[in-house]
Amino acid sequence: MAGEADESAAHEDGSPGPRALLMQEVAAQMDAIEAEFGDSFEIGRVITVVEVRKADDDVELRVRSGEYPWVALGMLETAKKIVEGMGG
């Protein structure tokens, strides 16, 4: 992948690069799932929503949800309710 080494490099302030940050988030989610469910689970559908901040200060959202958008919409609606229940 073009620029792959640059994407994983740490920033000058020591914070992880974009690729490393996304990988850390996925690993943290997997750790939390394993802590709660042990070995008795399977991963079903996965949706990723990523805020991408570009060099020109423009911000975009990237969403990947697999082949069934109607299922993804239901999952996102459920996720919205979970986040709302977390409070501010």
Tell me: the pLDDT tens digits for 5-44?
555 567 778 788 999 999 999 999 999 999 999 999 999 9
Q: What is the pLDDT of residue 4?
A: 52
Sign for the CA dihedral angle at 12, 15, 19, 20 comes to positive
pLDDT digits (tens, 9 = 90+) for 59-83: 999 999 988 999 999 999 999 999 9
Please, which residues bridge with residue 64 across strands?
48
**pTM for this one?**
0.72
Q: How many CB atoms lie within 10 A of CB 81?
A: 9
Q: How far is Cα 84 from Cα 63, in angstroms, rounded to an integer?
A: 20
Give the three-class secondary structure for 46. coil
